[in-house]
Amino acid sequence: MPQTATKAALRVRQLRKTYKDVVAVDDLDLEVRPGECFGLLGPNGAGKTTTIEICEGLTAADSGEVEVLGLHWPADAAALRQRLGIQLQETQLSEKLTVIETIQLFRSFFHQGPEPIEVIGLVQLEEKAKSRVGNLSGGQKQRLALACALVGDPDFLFLDEPTTGLDPQARRQLWELIEQFKLSGRTILLTTHYMDEAERLCERVAIMDHGKMIALGTPRELIASVCAEHLVEFSAGTRAHPLDLAAVSAIDGIREVQHENGSVRMQVTELHRAVPALLAELGRQSVPLTELRTHSATLEDVFVTLTGRHLRDE
Amino acid sequence: MNRNNHPLFQLTLVRFREFVREPEALFWVFIFPILLAAGLGIAFRNRPAEVLQIAAVTPQLAAPLRAEKLLDVRELSSAEAGQALRNGKVALVAEPGANGAVVYRFDDTNPEGRSARMLADRALQRAAGRQDPIAATDALMREPGSRYIDFLIPGLLGMNLMGSAIWGMGFAIVDARRKKLMKRLVATPMPRPYYLLSFALSRLLLLVLEVGVVLGFGAWVFQVPVRGSLVGLALLCVLSSMCFCALALLVASRARTTEAASGMMNVVMMPMWICSGVFFSAQRFPSLMQPLIKALPLTAVIDALRAMMLQGSGLAQLAPQVAVLSAWLVACFWLALKLFRWQ
């Protein structure tokens, strides 16, 4: 883990949390630098939400140390709560209140922060200010939830799966809002299982699986460290003419061959050499090629390489 | 900080807005008790003493019985009379016995049968020449305060105080927990006692309307009296409502689903609906149960309300009921805070 001269905005040491017989968080170490957007990635059940809720002071850890903005739970709770902006997964705000009434309520809990109408402007809900929450779309509700996290002018923003369940346009809109908030130099910790979201928003990401951190770095570093530059996926062969996978794996410049659900996935460094060689080999085996895809590596590929599973599985 | 931005003010305002924007809640709290009082008030309105239907088997018996104005005498054969008695068409059958005697056939568990027996016997004995040794005259009293509606209005008021506190507060708390709204609020710097206090405050504000509607309706339509002091009555209503709020807090302290909460609320309220004397006097239950019934908060509320409204008692005379309510208030509140689940 790279060391920083400045004090960390969030420092987690040997964090552990068990629910009955499930270890949700297993000896986790984490450090978020001031002003960065840090992403916790991982499939459902990886321990992301438990980790973020312990950092928010909503869940007590079994053991380990958590320091947020140099303060600790529960001793400094009153001071900390004034400085944190929190968005939880699946909170349903009261449907009978209007947007402005909801913001006024949340604003009343904080000593300082912008006027309610300003916050509504920040999340672009001005036209909906007097609408009931029950009449908002999914994306608008999510922006209102973000506004509720922003009312106290927080130094540190926690976002737990902020765009889950939204349509692509609403997600893009929310990303733009989060990017604006980043420009004002405040720290963000967000969890997501969308790789594109992490690649776009986060300076650094940690990939979690089964309560442990299995990779940490900038999105570029992670892709470079685990993957070759290109990935090739193809399906070939029939029941009568099965593919001889060993011969394919033996081709020069092809690595990490994985066979999954009838499709083969592999890493190659030089696309222009590997693909003709692959096609020649299939021709030699005379098995039909039904599908062929190539793409540059993403965080999704990092995850699949590390765990052998896709993020959205299960 | 501006007074409008005080968290307690905002939280109470939210409670109020959520209540007012829920048409069903408005119906149950304001319209339903009025409909119930009106319906029961009409059904049990005081009527002139009723004429009882009886049957006589012979003309010799029928003639003297007809002298009694409160009896409507039909002359039937013995078989027909037995049939009519079984069907409840007549309350009593008079038959000739041996040696000029008379036999009354009636059901002694039926109050009409017992009344008919007395009226019929008086008519026959007088016709046969009996002289009453003591002269008696009737002075009739039909004034407000002794009618069924006077008994009913304090009962409905007590039931309404209980229902609106337990449903209104219990469901709102469990719903906020289910929707993770409570967890979201706990993640802000909101002082937690304010959250609970906002329910109590909004309840007190609504109380003025709830009590006013029921008492106003009773006074205006049925002239139900309020003989005790209005200040005492107001204090009693506040204490009662806070007691039921504490009970609601306890019922809602752990439930995560509205279904579970709804079941528990019914378990808590059902014995009181039945035993606490809303619609009929709690004295009708066996004396063995009386100490238990007297210890129920709704019994204490209704007994105190009746004493205050109908007999003009003051709070000082109602010390036992006030003690029962205070004990429930303190015990439930303390336990609820111990058990309360904020997430």
- Residues of chain A contacting residue B6, judged by C-beta atoms under 8 Å apart: 108
Range in B32-41, B82-91, B162-171 the model is least confident about: B32-41
Option in B10, B18, B343 nearest A104 (CB) = B10
pLDDT, position A4: 44
Cβ–Cβ below 8 Å for B189 and A97: no
Given B70, B93, B127, which residue is the final one in a domain? Answer: B127
pLDDT at A278: 87
Please check the confidence at residue B334 and state whether its pLDDT lies above 70: yes
pLDDT reported for residue A11: 92
Same-domain pairing of B37 and B115: no
B5-14 pLDDT, tens digit per residue, is 899 999 999 9
Pairing of strands A263-268, A230-236: antiparallel
| B162 shares a domain with B123 | no
Count other Cβ atoms within 10 Å, centred on residue A4.
11
Residues of chain A with Cβ-Cβ distance to B17 below 8 Å are 96-97, 101
In chain B, how many domains are there?
A: 2
Q: Which residues pair with A189 in a beta bridge?
A: A38, A158
Asked if B63 and B13 sit in the same domain, the reply is no
CB contact under 8 A, B18 and A148: no
pLDDT tens for each residue of B222-273: 888 888 889 999 999 999 999 999 999 999 998 989 899 999 999 999 999 9
**Residue B165 belongs to a domain:** yes
State which residues form the domain around B241. 7-44+147-339
Q: Tell whether B32 is covered by a domain.
A: yes
| A228-296 and A10-218 share a CATH fold | no
CATH architecture of A10-218: 3-Layer(aba) Sandwich (3.40)
Same domain, residue pair B181 and B288:
yes
The pLDDT value recorded for residue B304 is 94
B7/A109 CB distance under 8 A? yes
Residue B239: what residue type? L
Query: What confidence score (pLDDT) does residue A257 get?
Result: 82
Q: What is the pLDDT along chain A (314 residues), one digit of tens a residue?
A: 444 445 789 999 999 999 888 888 988 999 999 989 999 988 888 888 999 999 999 998 899 999 999 899 888 999 999 999 999 988 889 999 999 999 999 999 999 889 999 999 888 899 999 999 999 988 899 889 999 999 999 999 999 998 887 888 888 888 988 888 888 888 999 998 887 888 889 999 998 888 889 889 888 888 777 656 788 888 887 777 778 888 888 887 787 788 877 788 888 878 888 888 888 888 888 888 888 888 877 777 787 777 776 655 44
**Among candidates A92, A93, A109 on the partner chain, residue whose Cβ is nearest the Cβ of B188:** A109
Residue B275 lies inside a defined structural domain of this protein: yes
- The answer to ipTM > 0.85 is no
Chain B CB contacts of A56 below 8 Å: 187
Which amino acid belongs to residue B11? L
Q: CA of A93: which chain B residue's CA is closest?
A: B181
Q: Is residue B135 part of a domain?
A: no
Task: With beta carbons under 8 A apart, name residues in chain B contacting A88.
Answer: 180, 183-184, 187
Asked whether residue B225 falls in the same domain as residue B87, the answer is no
Assess if residue B267 is contained within a domain: yes
The CA distance from B334 to A201, in Å, is 48
Chain B, nearest residue to A91 by Cα:
B180
B contacts of A109 (beta carbons < 8 Å): 7, 188-190
Residue-level pLDDT at A228 = 61
Residue A132 DSSP label: B
Report helix, strand or coil for A253: coil
- Classify B313 in phi/psi space as left (phi over 0), alpha (psi -120 to 50) or beta: beta
pLDDT exceeds 70 at position B4: no
Domain co-membership, B153 together with B252: yes
- CATH superfamily ID and name for A228-296: YebC, transcriptional regulation domain (3.30.70.980)
Is B139 within the bounds of a domain? no
Same domain, B108 and B175: no
Exposure string of B111-131, with b = 16+ CB inside 10 Å and e = fewer, is ebbebbbebbbbbbeeeeeee
* Residues B26/A101, Cβ–Cβ less than 8 Å: no
Whether residues B94 and B178 fall in one domain: no
**Pair B153, B196 in one domain:** yes
Instruction: Map out the domains of chain A as residue ranges.
Output: 10-218, 228-296
CB-CB contact of A299 with A219 (8 Å): yes
C-alpha distance from B1 to closest chain A C-alpha (Å): 8
Structure confidence at residue A291 (pLDDT): 87
**CA-CA distance, A173 to A146, in Å (whole number)?**
12
Report the C-alpha gap between B38 and A222 in whole angstroms: 76
DSSP code of A258? E
Please indicate, yes or no, whether residues B109 and B29 belong to a single structural domain of this protein.
Answer: no
Looking at residue B42, what is its pLDDT?
79
Facing A94 at nearest CB: one of B6, B18, B190 = B18
Asked if pLDDT for residue B36 goes beyond 90, the answer is: no
Mean pLDDT (chain B, rounded): 88
- Report the CATH number at residue B62: 3.40.190.10
